[in-house]
Every structure is written in C-alpha cells, then in structure tokens.
C-alpha cells in the first residue's frame, strides 16, 4: 500500500518510540485478525440465512400438506354425512310404515 506525501505531511515518524517494523507487524496482524473475524461473521450470516430459508420452505410444505389433509377430511366428512343420511332415511320410513 503506497502512501501519498499528503498523508505523511502532518506525521513525524521520529515521534514514535516503537520501531516501525514492529508497528507494521502489529498493524498487519490486527488487519488479518479483523479480516478473519469478518469472514467468520459472514459465514454465520450465510448459515442463518440458509436456516431461515429452509424453515420457510418447510413451513410452506407443511402448510400445503395441512390444506390437502383438511380438504380430504372435509370430503370424507361429506361422504360420511351422505351415507348416514341414506341409512337413516330407510329406517325412518320402515318405522313409520310398521
């Protein structure tokens, strides 16, 4: 990374007591640590985004299944009511004619 003379204009490097090589190593280590932390957090974000998407897909799947089961249950209930009505009518007619 090249620094312009304007950036160094107000800085007197002789004021620092720590050797520049040591500072450079510490700054580089700090930068690498920051990059590592950033990549870890990016990975966690991606993980949680994928988990959320999976949960939404699963929820939609089960919602669709539930709707299918409800429709099937309503159809079966209608058939059962129809059969009960058919079986109840002849009994009432027989009871009245006897």
Q: What value, to the nearest 5°, has the Cα angle with vertex 60 and ends 58 and 62?
A: 70
* Cβ pair 25, 18 in contact under 8 A: no
* Cβ pair 16, 23 in contact under 8 A: yes
Cα–Cα dist 60/63, whole Å: 5
Task: Per-residue pLDDT tens, the chain, 98 aa: give them.
Answer: 455 555 666 777 677 788 888 989 999 999 999 999 999 999 999 999 999 999 999 999 999 999 999 999 999 999 999 999 988 876 555 555 55
pTM of the model: 0.53
């Amino acid at each position: 990374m090249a620094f312009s003379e304007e950036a160094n204009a107000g800085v007197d490097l002789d004021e620092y007591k720590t050797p520049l090589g040591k500072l450079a190593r510490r700054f580089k280590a700090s930068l690498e640590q920051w990059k590592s932390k950033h990549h870890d957090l990016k990975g966690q974000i991606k993980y949680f985004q994928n988990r959320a998407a999976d949960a939404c897909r699963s929820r939609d799947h089960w919602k669709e299944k539930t709707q299918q089961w409800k429709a099937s249950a309503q159809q079966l209930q209608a058939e059962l009511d129809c059969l009960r009505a058919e079986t109840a009518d002849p009994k009432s007619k027989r009871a009245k004619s006897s």
